[in-house]
Structure 1
Amino acid sequence: MVCGGFTCSKNALCSLNVVYMLVGLLLIGVAAWGKGFGLVSSIHIIGGVIAVGFFLLLIAIVGLIGAIHHHQVMLFFYMVILFIVFLFQFGVSCSCLAMNSGQQKVLLSSAWRLLENNTRMDLESQLNCCGLYKVNSSVQSDPDYPACPAACKKSMNCNSCGGLMLNHATEALKILGGVGLFFSFTEILGVWLAVRYRNQKDPRANPSAFL
C-alpha cells in the first residue's frame, strides 16, 4: 500500500509514540540515576523530571493504544493534548533562543532563589564556586558564602557561580531551545498523523462503516 494510506499512517503514528515512550522512560531513568548517585539532592527537581517523563509516557501510551485500535475518542484526546503541549513547548523554545544576557541574569537570579539550600550547595561543590554573584567586587560578601562547601573556599579564591553559569548560558539556551524546537515539530507531526489516521477508513472493516 502506498505511503499515506491507512496502514502507513497507523505504523508512522505507532513508531512516533514508541519514540515518545522511550524518551519518557529515559527521563525517569536519568532522574532516578541522578538521585541514586547523589548528583542531585533536591526532591523537587527529581520529582519534576519524573513527572514530565511520566506525563510523556502516559500520552504516548494513549496514542499507541488509540493507533492500534483506531479508537476515535483516544485519538481525539491524544491530538488535543499533544497540540497544547506543542504550543507551550514551541513558545518556551522560541523564548530560549531569543533571550539576551540581561534576561538570562534575571532568570538565573530567580531560579537561584527558588533552589533549596542542598541544591545550591551541590552546585557550588560541583562547579567549585561560591554564591550567585559577586557583591561589592568580592564573592566573600555574598550571603551564601559562609555555607559554601566548594574546595576553592580554602584558598579564598572563589569565583561566583552565577558568573560561571552565565559564561555558558547562551550556548546552553541555544541547545535547549533547538532541541525543544525540534521536538515541538515532532509533536505537530503527531497531531497531523492522528488527525489523518482518525479520518481514514479501515480497509479490513465493513466497507459501509466509518470508524
Structure 2
Amino acid sequence: MVCGGFTCSRNALCSLNVVYMLVGLLLIGVAAWGKGFGLLSSIHIIGGVIAVGVFLLLISIVGLIGAIHHHQVMLFFYMVILFLVFLFQFGISCSCLAMNRGQQETLLNSAWGLLNNKTKADLESQLDCCGLLNKTDSRTEFYQDVTSCPAQCKNTPICFSCGDKMLNHATEALKILGGVGLFFSFTEILGVWLAVRYRNQKDPRANPSAFL
C-alpha cells in the first residue's frame, strides 16, 4: 500500500475526525468544568462553548461514518460544511491578527454591553477591577453605582477598570487566538482535501464493475 491510496486516505480522514471529536468533547468538558467550579456563570457563555463543541462533535461523527463506509452523500455534506467553517474561521483568525487597539476597544464595548449584571460582577471580582473603561477622573462618574462593584480595589485609592486590564493583554491574546485559529483552519482545509480525494477513489474491495 502506498500513501495516498484508498486505505491511506480513509485512515487519515478517520484520524483527523477523531481529533476533531476529541476537541469537541474537550470544549464541552471545559464548559461543564467551568460551570461546576463557578468560573463561568453566564448561561450565554456556557451555551456558546457547548454549542461549538456539539457542532464540532456532530460534524466529526458525520465525517467518521462517511469515511468508514465510504458514504458518498455524507462525505459530500461533510466537505461542504467543513469548507464553510474553514472560510469563517480563516476570516476571524486574520481579523484577530490584524486588529488594532481602537478596534479592540470597540469590540470590548460591544461585548461588555451583551453581558448580564451577574457576569459583569464575576469579571470584576475575579480581575479585581470596576467598570469597563475609565473615561473620567472622577470615581463618582466612573461608577454608575459604586456599591454594585464587588472588587476589593474599589475601597483603595487606585482601582483600574476591567477594560484597561483586558486591553493590556488583548494584543497578545488576539495573536495567540488568531494563530491557533489559523492553524486549525488549515487542518480543516486538509480535511476537505482528504474528503474530496477519498470520495473520488475506488474501493478495491468493491465490485470492479460498480459505479463510484
- Scaled by the length of structure 2, what TM-score is found? 0.97
For residues 166 and 58 of structure 1, the distance between their equivalents in structure 2, rounded to whole angstroms, comes to: 35
For residues 182 and 7 of structure 1, the distance between their equivalents in structure 2, rounded to whole angstroms, comes to: 26
Deviations 1:113-150 (A, max 9, x none): 11111111111001100000113124542226431100
Q: CA RMSD in A?
A: 1.1
Amino acid at match of 1:8: C
- 2:159 is the counterpart of 1:151: no
In the alignment, is the contact (CA less than 8 A) between 1:130 and 1:144 conserved in 2? Answer: no
For residues 7 and 111 of structure 1, the distance between their equivalents in structure 2, rounded to whole angstroms, comes to: 47
Query: Which structure 2 segments of 5+ residues have no match?
Result: none
Aligned-residue offset at 1:208: 1.5
In the alignment, is the contact (CA less than 8 A) between 1:75 and 1:198 conserved in 2? Answer: yes
Task: State percent identity of aligned pairs.
Answer: 82
Amino acid at match of 1:67: A
In structure 2, the residue matched to 1:94 is 94
In structure 1, the residue matched to 2:3 is 3
- Runs of 4+ off more than 4 Å: none
For residues 153 and 7 of structure 2, the distance between their equivalents in structure 1, rounded to whole angstroms, comes to: 61
In the alignment, is the contact (CA less than 8 A) between 1:139 and 1:159 conserved in 2? Answer: no
In the alignment, is the contact (CA less than 8 A) between 1:59 and 1:78 conserved in 2? Answer: yes
Most deviating of 152-161 and 13-22: 152-161
For residues 67 and 150 of structure 1, the distance between their equivalents in structure 2, rounded to whole angstroms, comes to: 52
SS in 2 for 1:190: helix
For residues 122 and 100 of structure 1, the distance between their equivalents in structure 2, rounded to whole angstroms, comes to: 27
For residues 147 and 4 of structure 1, the distance between their equivalents in structure 2, rounded to whole angstroms, comes to: 62
For residues 1-211 of structure 1, the aligned pairs below 5 Å read: 1-142=1-142, 143=144, 145-211=146-212
Number of aligned positions between the proteins: 211
- Scaled by the length of structure 1, what TM-score is found? 0.97
